[in-house]
Amino acid sequence: KWSVDNADPMKMNYPQLKEAAALLQQEEVVAFPTETVYGLGANALSDQAVQKIFEAKGRPGDNPLIVHITKKEQLTGLVDNLPQVAEKLMDAFWPGPLTLVLKSKGSVSRYVTAGLDTVAVRMPDHPVALALMEVAGLPLAAPSANLSGKPSPTSAAHVDEDLNGKIAGIVDGGSTGVGLESTVVDCTTEIPVILRPGGVTKEQLEAVVGEVGVDPALTSQDQAPKSPGMKYTHYAPVAPVFLVEGGLDFLKSTVHKAQNDGKKVGLLVTEETKSQMGEAGDVMLACGTRSDLSTIATNLYDALRAFNATDVDIIFSETFPKSGMGAAIMNRLEKAAGHKVIKER
Ligand code: TXA
Ligand code: MG
């Protein structure tokens, strides 16, 4: 494990970066921070290295990986055709939490693309991620650095919890900022389509390129998602999660009912709700403020993981409007809950 300075890693921590980069060049897997969540990186060009990612995470082989790059010029080696919308989106949001799905040139390992003719690419906005790739001189295939099914890691400690002993190392750059994964946008269609909501909102995308579609699978559970990873269970703590839709009194009575049934209740709420709930629940975690949903995004996975260190039998979470950052937050919460919702009548 290497601790690295976020302010100027190249200057302050070149020896550490060099060691981590050497492992990547030797086809090993190394976790590193990005602005969204920690990634588990491997040389995107090497079958052997990329296979190790799937092994360490226990990830299904049909779920493709995102290729991370440091410079736009690297794209020419990776993709066949760069539509104008993709150029506009890159100019507006890279480096940043936006992943573009483009026609693949077939140059990355076939395990990265899981047999698809497209490849997902993003340039992360994190000095440590960029410095590590710069030193390694490699594009890195990197999924979130959690065990498959668990909440994505927003700190090196989370990575350690899931992957200790299974990977070659962790570059520790502190807590990530955005807290939810990148927005995945398919740019191979006439109108770009959001396959996974994330750190860049639909509203922000539309301000740059006009109309943006949403994969129907995101709003209906009957549709097969175009992004293979979206069909799997995700982000789940050990205790079952239920989303509670209704007012404060309804949340309180839902808690009491479960407690009367002998259950220890965990509550995942906002600061606003916490201040009004009194002593409700057995464990109450506030993960941010309703007045700025980005604070919820930043802390959501840490809160979901924190329930695992408690003895709660059931977790109730409040819900959010599905606009702006709320779209990504609700997407992750619905997955964590396996779409279980308790509604006020
Ligand atoms: O913020 C992020 O995107 C983080 C950090 C580490 O960069 N990475 C991440 O990777 O979330 P992962 O593997 O957990 O999620 C990648 C998502 C999956 O839903 C996958 O199915 C989708 O991107 N994906 C990858 N390649 C694709 C492709 N060619 N077509 C459609 N979806 C693709
Ligand atoms: Mg993931």
CA distance 85 to 189: 10
Q: What is the ipTM of this complex?
A: 0.99
- How confident is the model over 164-202, as pLDDT tens digits? 999 999 999 999 999 999 999 999 999 999 999 999 999
| Ligand found nearest the CA of 142 | 1
- How confident is the model over 68-86, as pLDDT tens digits? 999 999 999 999 989 999 9
- How confident is the model over 118-158, as pLDDT tens digits? 999 999 999 999 999 999 999 999 999 999 999 999 999 99
Output the pTM of the full model. 0.96
Residue with the nearest Cα to atom 13 of ligand 1?
Answer: 143
Residues with CB under 6 A from ligand 1: 34, 36-37, 39, 63-66, 97, 99, 101, 113, 116, 118-120, 122, 124, 142-144, 181-182, 184, 195-196, 226-230
CA-derived radius of gyration, the chain: 20
- How confident is the model over 209-224, as pLDDT tens digits? 999 999 999 988 878 8
Q: Which of 34, 36, 227 to mutate to test the pocket of ligand 1 (most atoms within 8 A of CB)?
A: 227
Ligand 1 atom nearest residue 66's Cα: 25
CB 128 within 8 Å of CB 6: yes
- Under the banding of pLDDT at 50, 70 and 90, the label for residue 229 is confident
Q: Which of 99, 132, 183 to mutate to test the pocket of ligand 1 (most atoms within 8 A of CB)?
A: 99
Residue with the nearest Cα to atom 21 of ligand 1?
Answer: 229
pLDDT of residue 233: 65
pLDDT exceeds 90 at position 234: no
| Ligand found nearest the CA of 113 | 1
Tell me the backbone φ, ψ of residue 251, rounded to 5 degrees. Answer: -60, -45
Ligand 1 atom nearest residue 122's Cα: 7
Of the listed ranges 124-128, 230-234, 250-254, the least confidently predicted one is 230-234
CA distance 294 to 270: 12
Average pLDDT, the chain: 96
DSSP letters, 129-173, are HHHHHHHHTS-EE--BSS-TTSPPPSSHHHHHHHHTTTSSEEEE-
98 alpha carbon to ligand 1 midpoint, in Å? 10
